[in-house]
Amino acid sequence: MDGDPTISTQGLTRRFGELVAVDGIDLNVAPGQFFGFLGPNGAGKSTTIKMLTGLLAPSSGRIEILGLDLEKHPVEVKRQIGVVPEGMALFGRLTGSEFLNFAGRMYGLDRETAAKRSAELLDFMQLADQPKKLVTDYSHGMQKKLAMAAAVIHGPKVLFLDEPFEGIDAIAAGTLKTMLQGMIARGATIFLTSHVLEIVERLCSHVAIIHQGKLVANGSLEELRAGVEAQAPVAFASGALAPGEKMTLEQIFLRTVGGSRHGDQELSWL
Amino acid sequence: MEELSSTTHRNGQLAAIAWVRWRLFANALRSSRGVLELISCIFISLGFVIGGLGGGLFMAAMASFFISQGKPGMLAVLFWVVFVFWQLFPIMATAFTNNPDASDLLRFPLNYRSYFLVRMAYGAFDPVTVLVGLWSFGILAGVGFARPALLPWTLLVLLVFAVFNLLFMQMTFAWVERWLAQRRTREIMGVLFVLLMLSFQLIGPLAGRFGKHARPDMQRVVEALAPVQGILPPGLAGDAIAQAVLSRFIVGLSSLALLCAFALIIGYFLHVRLLAQYRGENLSEVAAPSTLPKDQSLRPGWNLPGLPAPVAAVFEKECLYRLRSGPMLLTLIMPIFVLVVFRLGPLSSSRAIFGRTPDMAFPSAVTYTLLILTNLAYNNFGGDAGGIQFFYASPVRFREIVLAKNLAHAVVLAIETALAWIAVSLLYRAPALDVTVAALAGLLFAAPVNFSAGNLLSLYSPKKLDFSSFGRQRASQTTVLISFGVQIVVVGVGVTIFWMAKYFGNFWIATVILLLLAGISLSGYVLILNRIDGIALARRETLVAELCRA
């Protein structure tokens, strides 16, 4: 990896009683990377992203964002990052414009800049046509776009997104993708979790897979492919893939975490 | 057969709802916080039981006394007390009420009858219902003691009266929630409330205008009102028993029939509201037309010179939340409303509240204002719900966020104090300068104590609140209990100091002592505020888990 990583963890661990949700993760995300963090349900994705953004204290381990220790410099780190957490972190009784204004000022923008950027973001996200509507009355997709707008209003260097494409329509997803690609082009680093593997495959330059709290794969898509092919050449020999055909991220993911569809089981009553 | 199956199905659903509520309660005990909540709940319930038993004994004694003295007509007074308390208590002390959102159940194939029954059952399990239930039992015991033969009849009347009250409470909540949900109806209600307040204020000047003739006039008013109250539900309930005491059973039966008719009418209005909810109405604000000028969204946040940007932003957000919460606004108006109610009796009467000591009206109103604010100040993050994650993710120290929230509370307190001063001036007389200053000094002492305790409890015992719903703004039981203790101490100190000052005939003594205490409480406040960041970080999992829960 060239230069210092933007996101770096060493031995990151989180326990909930007996359960080890995240188990000694060492992770490095380089500047400008679009990093996809994948895993089955309950693997520890959201727990990891919460720890990386200061929403959850690690049981042990170390987190550095932009070279700053998160535990020692939480405010300095948060000033430079944007977050869309699992619950979206919105204030329902504000209008969209008021919420973005509020977010901008919380991130240190002056009133005029916050207002200007709020208007631009609402316009970009196609949320500007109902200025008096309260956030609580927004649809799920609208709330997602608003949460995204609030996360980027201060122009963060690093953006953490937990399932940003969950429950939104194709138009909204297109808008978000355009914005995220624009940020990457301008040198930002994006760390996202998603279950929509097609989107991750299309957007992300690097992917890590977490399973039962442990990091089981990490690298560029080509590196992951090579790793899986080296471990399971049988699949290729058996003709599961046509000659010259590349494994999709979904196939890599399923082979890595050992997923099976339980196709032989039936729900007779259904 | 189909009907039987439908009934079985409905019974199964109701049993499932009861079971799930039990499991929610039992599962909550798995955490230490849950156990603490249970202990607090037991203490609070004890308080209610004591209040209920005390009130019940009083009711029993009065009912027996009225009948034995040949004044059964006076039983109506007891029913009016029960009625007023039953309807007003849930509004005045929302922290004690527990009305979960039954509309959450609408996702399931619940038929309308079951939904109606669940709403009624939720209302019946309110602490206030237990309290007034004990009072009603007191009436039953009192009548039964004086006339044992009337026990079944009294029981029947009390049951119908209880059903009426349950329906009326649920109907009031349902309709007020409906009216407060939208800007236009909220404004209309606000205007109506102000008009009501103004009309109350006319009582004093009118009584004064008639001077010495006021007493006979008042007597005539009371005489004119007596038959009116007699045809209203509490009066009818009292009359149904009174007529039976006088062996006029047909008249008593007609009173009970009229009471049933009232219950049916109220039930119908509740049915209209619940049916709309059942069919899936949307109570949100009507979306504004999209033709609004575009630069509306360019409006910058409030300019609050002297405040750091994050503090100003949180302060603005808090103020907007208050202004958009109809139920919260109504709660905040209660101190003035109570002053008006207290003023309804003749000022010169020694039996009237503040009749002998009108000077104490302002300090009392200020105290009540502080009590009303408890629900907000002791659960700072309750209304933020998922927004708590935003606070944790933002580069702002928690002490700034908490300071901004406390400033918003302080502004509410200041506005309410000013309104209370004006109301006292209009309803009684302008509070004397020394009393005003002493009361303000008391506020300077009490507010930081409450804010400090509130800030800690907001982090240690958070509870998600719904500012848009009426009667569902309950703090955690632990918070209720501890805040109650803090208020007893603070108010006790204040009352002792005021009593001492009154004894020496010099309220400036109270001002000096209270200002000294204010210095101490302010220092304590700053000390705790400086530790808030550490506590907030240590408590982040609890806060996020509690406030982000669906």
Q: Using CB atoms within 10 Å of the CB of residue B38, give its burial: 0 to 12 exposed, 13 to 18 middle, 19+ buried.
A: middle
Which of B309, B314, B393 comes nearest A55 by C-beta?
B393
Does the pLDDT of residue B99 top 70, yes or no?
Answer: no
Contact of B540 with chain A, judged by CB distance below 8 Å, is answered with yes
Closest by Cα among B477, B460, B459 to B38: B477
Q: Is the Cβ pair B325, A93 closer than 8 Å?
A: yes
Average pLDDT, chain B: 81
In the block, tokens 């200007």 appear at A116
With a CB cutoff of 8 Å and minimum separation 6, the contacts of B19 are: none
Strands lying side by side in the sheet with A68-69: A19-29, A7-16, A60-65, A68-69
What amino acid is encoded at B364 in this protein? S
Q: Which residue has the tokens 């194709």?
A: A170
Answer whether A91 sits within 8 Å of B296, measured CB to CB: no
Q: Assign 3-class secondary structure to B207-276.
A: HHHHHHHHHHHHHHHHHHHHHHHHCCHHHHHHHHHHHHHCCCHHHHHHHHHHHHHHHHHHHHHHHHHHHH
Quick check: B451 and B528 in contact, CB under 8 A? no
Q: CB B310 to CB A85 under 8 A?
A: no
Residue B393 belongs to what H/E stretch?
A: helix B387-393
Q: Which of B294, B389, B394 sits opposite A128 (nearest CB)?
A: B294
Report the pLDDT averaged over residues B440-447: 94
**Which residues of chain A neighbour B383 with C-beta distances below 8 Å?**
93
B321 at interface of A, judged by CB pairs closer than 8 A? yes
pLDDT confidence of B518, banded at 50, 70, 90?
A: very high
State which residue of chain A sits closest to B323, comparing Cα positions: A93
CB B450 within 8 A of CB B486: yes
- Closest Cβ opposite residue B386 in set A54, A79, A89: A89
Spatial distance between the Cα atoms of A110 and A128, rounded to a whole number of angstroms? 21
The CA distance from B253 to B261, in Å, is 12
- Judging contacts by C-beta atoms under 8 Å, the chain A residues touching residue B468 are 93, 136
- Give percent of chain B with pLDDT exceeding 90: 34
CB A88 within 8 A of CB A95: no
Cβ–Cβ pairs < 8 A, chains A and B: 144
What is the C-alpha separation between B145 and B151, in angstroms, rounded? 9
CB contact under 8 A, B384 and A87: no
* Nearest residue in chain B measured CA to CA from A71: B537
Task: Give the DSSP letter string of A216-258.
Answer: EEEEEHHHHHHHHHHH-THHHHTTSS-TTPPPPHHHHHHHHHT
Instruction: Kindly determine whether residue B468 and residue A136, on different chains, have CB atoms separated by under 8 Å.
Output: yes
CA gap B357, B350 in Å, rounded: 9
Q: Which residue has the tokens 């349900």?
A: A41
Q: What count of Cα atoms within 13 Å lies in the side-chain half-sphere of residue A238?
A: 6
CB B139 within 8 A of CB B75: yes
A87 and A119 in contact (C-beta within 8 Å)?
no
Distance CA B327, CA B97 (A): 14
The per-residue pLDDT for B291 is 47
Q: What is the DSSP letter of A134?
A: B
A102, B313: Cβ pair inside 8 Å? yes
Strand locations in B289-437, DSSP E?
A: none
Mutation target to probe the B interface, by most B beta carbons within 10 A, among A14, A72, A73, A91 is A91
Residues 106 through 125 of chain A touching chain B, CB cutoff 8 Å? 106-112, 114-116, 118-119, 122
Tell me, letter by letter, the H, E, C secondary structure of B531-545.
Answer: HHHHHHHHCHHHHHH
pLDDT along chain A (270 residues), means of 10: 84 90 94 93 91 89 94 89 86 88 89 92 88 82 91 94 87 88 93 89 92 92 83 58 75 79 68
Quote the minimal CA–CA distance from B3 to chain A in Å: 26
Which tens digit of pLDDT belongs to each residue from B17-62? 777 677 767 776 777 777 777 787 788 778 878 888 899 999 999 9
Residue B95 has pLDDT above 50, yes or no: no
- Name the class of domain A7-257: alpha beta
Out of B23-32, B60-69, B414-423, B534-543, pick the least confident. B23-32
Residues 223-262 of A with CB under 8 A from B: none
Separation in Å, CA of B469 to nearest CA in chain A? 12
Any chain A CB within 8 A of the CB of B466?
no
pTM score, whole prediction: 0.72
Chain B residues within 8 A of A77 when measuring between CB atoms: 395
Least CB-CB distance to A133: which of B288, B386, B544?
B288
Q: Note the pLDDT of residue A168.
A: 82
How far apart (Å, rounded) are the C-alpha atoms in residues A206 and A222? 9
Of B288, B294, B384, the CB nearest to A132: B288
- What is the predicted ipTM? 0.78
Q: How far apart are the first and last CA of chain B?
A: 39
Report the residue from A56, A77, A106 with minimal CB separation from B540: A56
Alpha helices in chain A (DSSP H): 45-52, 74-80, 96-106, 111-124, 140-152, 170-185, 197-203, 221-231, 234-237, 249-257
Which residues of chain A are within 8 Å of residue B316 when distances are taken between CB atoms? Answer: 102
For residue A161, how far is the Cα from the chain centroid?
A: 3
Q: Where are the domains of chain B?
A: 46-193+224-278, 309-547
CB atoms closer than 10 angstroms to residue B333? 17
User: What H or E segment, with its residue span, contains residue A188?
Assistant: none
Helix (H) or strand (E) holding A189: strand A189-193
Examine the pLDDT at B288 and tell me if it is beyond 50. no
Mutate to test the interface with B, among A111, A116, A153 (most CBs of B within 10 A): A111
For B296, nearest residue in chain A (alpha carbons):
A131
Which tokens in the block code for residue A268? 């007779």
Per-residue pLDDT reduced to its tens digit, B147-172: 999 999 999 999 999 999 999 988 98
- For B465-517, write each residue's pLDDT tens digit: 766 555 555 667 788 888 889 989 999 999 999 999 988 989 899 999 999 99
Subunit contact B540:A76, Cβ cutoff 8 A: no
pLDDT at A149: 93
Residue B290 pLDDT class (50, 70, 90 cuts): very low
Q: Which residues numbered 6-65 in A keep a CB inside 8 Å of some CB on B?
A: 53-57
How far is residue A240 from each of residues A232, A259, B368, measured CA to CA in Å? Answer: 11, 16, 76
Q: Chain A: nearest CA to B431, how far in angstroms?
A: 38
- Three-state secondary-structure class, residue B448: helix
* Residues of chain B with C-beta less than 8 angstroms from the C-beta of A128: 294, 297
Ordered by start, the domain boundaries in chain A are: 7-257
- Which residues of chain A lie closer than 8 angstroms to B303, CB-CB? 111
Smallest Cα–Cα separation from B313: which of B298, B302, B297, B299? B302
- The full length of chain B comes to 550
DSSP string, B152-189: HHHHHHHHHHHHHHHHHHHHHHHHHHHHHTSHHHHHHH
